Amino acid sequence: MDLFFWLQFAVVLVCIGIGGRFGGIGLGVAGGLGLGILTFGFGMKPDGAAPVTVMLIILAVITCVAVLQAAGGLDLLVSIAEKMLRKKPGAITFFGPAVVYLFTVLCGTSYVAFSVYPVIAEIATEARVRPERAMSMAVIASNFGVVASPMSAAISGMIAIVAGLGVTPLQILMVTIPGTFLGCLAGCIFVYKRGAELKDDAEFQRRVATGEFKDIVSEHKVEYKATNEAKLALVIFLAAIVAVVTLGSIPSLLPSWVAANGSVSTMSIPTALQIVMLMTASFIMIFCKVQPSKLDSGSVFKAGLVGVVAIFGLSWMMGTFFETYSALFKEAFLDMQNPFVFAVIIFVLSIVIYSPSATVAAIMPLGVLMGLPVTLLVGLMPATAGSFIIPGGAQIGCVAFDRTGSTRIGKYAINHSYLLPGMVAAVVSTVVCLLLAQVVI
């Protein structure tokens, strides 16, 4: 490793840091900055092309979810979540995160969780259960739900990366769904009695005494009327999820073609996923009578495009750097089959990159390049969800939603309500997923 290596490595790290500071599109353009310095400045050869397959999968998925949102399907999901939570208000510490996890897995985006967070905070407050417990784990559950969703950019990216290694989407989900669910359950158990009971909490008592806190009669309890179109859209979307998993797990169902020389080629799983998602979006658009003006105006579509840009620049920069030094990395990490070491690398990068999908796109190809077992790569998927360490929109928003003041961000930023339960969930999820991967794959 000469001076040029360390200079180029420093460029990569600085650009990741810059991108992490701005987040979203900032990750992509900072990756582009790093790519420009590496290629124009140091003369590196760009790594083939941008991660086109991953970006196309994400575009197809977010298009489908955006059309579902336009048809009212996401609003219907939120209303179902509220009804489920209100049935057992005393168990909100477990039911709140469980509902957030379930809906994130179904939709592939944590967007739906932002609509559920205020409901969780209100139900916990009404039941006089310390809201911090449910709120902290709800945010963590939304993080880990992303790496367990067949609709998420993280899983879509992983499918594209390991499809050539004989791993099916069903196998990935059979590892990540039970693994992350058990991890979140462990986190809920950890927070079940965490902190003072609400009636004994000093900050809550202060807010009550000063009149800052008052019980409110919820205006939101207006009965939600789901339209037939919203119900149909949700049914079509759920059927599409089943179709994607089925096609990806039974290759014989995929179309195949015979070339002139007699060779047989079969449609790839990533291609099938893209086509099914676009077909599903069209079915929802046509049969649910979605207004054209709503198709691309929702928050899901905008957030998804931000994710595409983030992966575009960041993954291209990382791929170029690692491909240039592929022989060096293979030699340096030849004996590095220790899952703990690679997990730490992934987790630390995910904290800075602040996106499970971008972390998957940036670091998992390195694992393939190094020849690490695919069971290890799939088992370490939960390690890509370390974005809870640095407070972001969800963490800050939930502090605001909790009117009792029990959910907090400390003066040192990272000493917040989400840190310890998140670490518990991350460790348990990773360990369980590693064990399951040895059995399932």
User: Cα separation of 83 and 116, whole Å?
Assistant: 11
Contact 195, 133 (CB under 8 A): yes
DSSP letter at 225?
-
Note whether 97 and 141 are within 8 A (CB): yes
pLDDT at 133 exceeding the cut of 70? yes
Reply yes or no on whether the pLDDT at 181 is more than 80.
Answer: yes
What value does the mean pLDDT take over residues 317-325?
79
Instruction: Residue 161: give the domain boundaries.
Output: 3-257+264-440
Please report the sign of the dihedral spanned by the C-alpha atoms of residue 127, residue 131, residue 135, residue 137.
negative
pLDDT at 424 over 60: yes
Predicted local distance difference test score (pLDDT) of residue 274? 85
- Can you tell me whether residue 432 is helix, strand or coil? helix
Rounded distance between C-alpha atoms, residue 407 and residue 401, angstroms: 9
In this prediction, residues 60-84 reach a mean pLDDT of 83
d(CA 70, CA 103): 17
Beta carbons of 133 and 192 less than 8 angstroms apart: yes
Strand partners, 388: none
Of all residues in the chain, the percent with pLDDT exceeding 90 is 24
- Whole-number pLDDT of residue 219: 47
In angstroms and rounded to an integer, the radius of gyration of the C-alpha atoms of the chain is 22
Residue 388 is predicted with a pLDDT of 86
Name the pTM for this structure.
0.75
Decide if pLDDT at 364 tops 90.
Answer: no
d(CA 146, CA 348): 18
Contact 422, 156 (CB under 8 A): no
**Contact (Cβ atoms closer than 8 angstroms) between residue 327 and residue 363:** no
Tell me the per-residue pLDDT of 340-349, one tens digit each, with 9 for 90 and over: 778 888 898 8
Which CB contacts under 8 angstroms, 24+ apart, belong to 215-224? 215/125, 215/126, 218/122, 220/119, 220/122, 224/75, 224/76, 224/79, 224/82
The whole-chain average pLDDT of the chain stands at: 83
- What's the confidence (pLDDT) of residue 402? 84
Distant-in-sequence, close-in-space partners of 394: CB < 8 Å, separation ≥ 6 = 110, 113, 114, 117, 139, 142
Query: Using alpha carbons only, what angle is made at residue 416 by residues 415 and 417, rounded to the nearest 5 degrees?
Result: 140
Predicted local confidence at residue 220, as pLDDT: 46
Reply yes or no on whether the pLDDT at 373 is more than 80.
Answer: yes
Q: What mean pLDDT is predicted for residues 44-49?
A: 72
- pLDDT of 115 > 50? The answer is yes
Checking if the pLDDT of 168 tops 70, the result is: yes
Residue 399 has pLDDT above 70, yes or no: yes
**How many domains, in total, are found in the chain?**
1
Q: What is the DSSP letter of 51?
A: -
3-state secondary structure of 334: coil
Mean pLDDT across 315-331: 75
Q: Which of 175-179, 193-197, 255-259, 347-351 has the highest mean pLDDT?
A: 175-179
Q: Is 258 helix (H, G, I), strand (E, B) or coil?
A: strand
**Residue bearing the bigger pLDDT, 256 or 97:** 97
Residue 228: pLDDT band (50, 70, 90) is very high
Q: Is 20 exposed, middle or buried (0-12, 13-18, 19+ CB in 10 A)?
A: buried
Do strands 256-258 and 264-266 pair parallel, antiparallel, or not at all (unpaired)?
antiparallel
